[in-house]
Structure 1
Amino acid sequence: MILLNRISYLTMCISHIQKQIKPVLKGVPFEISPRQRVAIVGENGAGKSTIIKLLCKLYKPDSGKITINGINLDDIPFSQLKRIYSVVFQDYSSYSLTLRENIAFGDIDKLKDDKAILDAVNKGLATEVLNKMPKGIDTNLGKLEDDGVDLSGGQWQRVAIARACVSDSAFVILDEPTSALDPVVETEILKQFIEIARDKTAVIISHRVGLCKFADKIIVMKDGQICEIGTHDSLINKNGEYKRLYTSQEQWYR
């Protein structure tokens, strides 16, 4: 009898938990074209980063599908996926190795390719970092080596973006990697990145909307759904969620 009561109690608890579970995303249909600059914006918890984790196959959708050039994402192996897009997450990695090695982790085949490394430095807006390095791209970073140069948070962020740019991938995805910076500084960095990396498709995730003026397409998320899609001007004229976000943050960019 005691065992049956426990089973009945556990069944009731599981049923209660299942009723409390809500989907993070509730259908998010959109398309991204080659060389398009796309900003996915919305308040924290809107589901923006979940989209990126689905694209990276870190999560698997319960329903629906994601396709790349008509091919189901499930049919694309991880090894090939890394050649399609590179990603910089908010919690990017920093390594106590040389600047060259920190960037080359984005494509280890480019480790000895100085031109590719320097081009990635330029695209990642890390030229200012490089100019302060006593041994150029072969300067040790971090505190492990006696001659190591420790970088600020903003400098490490630029190195992380350069790491994503060294790859020959067609897509670069930035998942709020500069959110710790001042909003104006963040917007300027992302604006420069959009202008420089014109040979790639850029997808930028942010809860700040300052960068959206420079995007070809803006996808606005709210409560796990897409509530608006358009350009900055069209969404401002629509007078909906995007305008509300933009108006609430406008003082940051004055």
Structure 2
Amino acid sequence: MKVSLSRLPLGILTALVIVVLLVFSVVIVYGGVNSMESQLEAKLLDRMPAKAVEAYKDLNSGKVPSPDSLQVLLASTEELEEWGNWEVDKLILGFGGIAVAFCGLVGYWLARKISRPLEALARATQDLRAGDFAVRVGSIRKGAKEVATLVKTFDELAAELESMEDRLRFNTMAVAHELRTPLTILQGNLQGMADGVFPLEQERVRQLLLQVEGLSALVEDLRTLSLAAGQKLVTQRHPVDLAVEATQVLGASNTLLGSVGMSVE
């Protein structure tokens, strides 16, 4: 089964990166010091007296050195040991600095790989806050598992907010349309009665009251929608006679329709 390192949990991914960088550091320091061993030995021989060098070479080749050359080698051993330790320490510090620089660059590169989706998410969040509900981060190829989940959740949230905005815009237009019709009927009839064009009849007043009741029902419907959105709605269903409703609507509209020569069946 193939496992993508970039989809591991952030804690595990961080631990793996630290372990890998530590191994790289050890390899760089150890390999660097070993590669300088021959040069360090050459410098050591240059500092040794001639007889000490002769004794050193005899010992390395398995021969028994002469007593006087061996004595010179032993006499200079303490000084050479201090010098050798200092040279090794300098090599360790030097290659350690190289390892730190290398691991720092690798760590920065990996951190950028992980944090780049978060930067895109931060920019998208600012756009969303500004009212751009169409903003999306999209799928990411790099990043920890938690980062990928966060980006996916953000995109889903933005899509839901965009859908809610579209529904709200549509509902607002629908409410405006539903309010316009009875208000137009009320305004036309009342203006006509005020100007003396329409007589003040009981039937006409009754029809206008029906329009007012329709407006009240629409307001109550809006309140019902608000309760439903807050999950506080208790529905009460009852039968409705559509013929009666249609008769009321036609009765309220006949005056305006008749004034322009229109009739409804």
Q: Which has the larger strand fraction?
A: 1
Fold equivalence (TM over 0.5) = no
TM-score interval, normalised by the smaller of the two chains: under 0.3
Which one has the largest radius of gyration?
2
User: Normalising by structure 2, what TM-score?
Assistant: 0.18
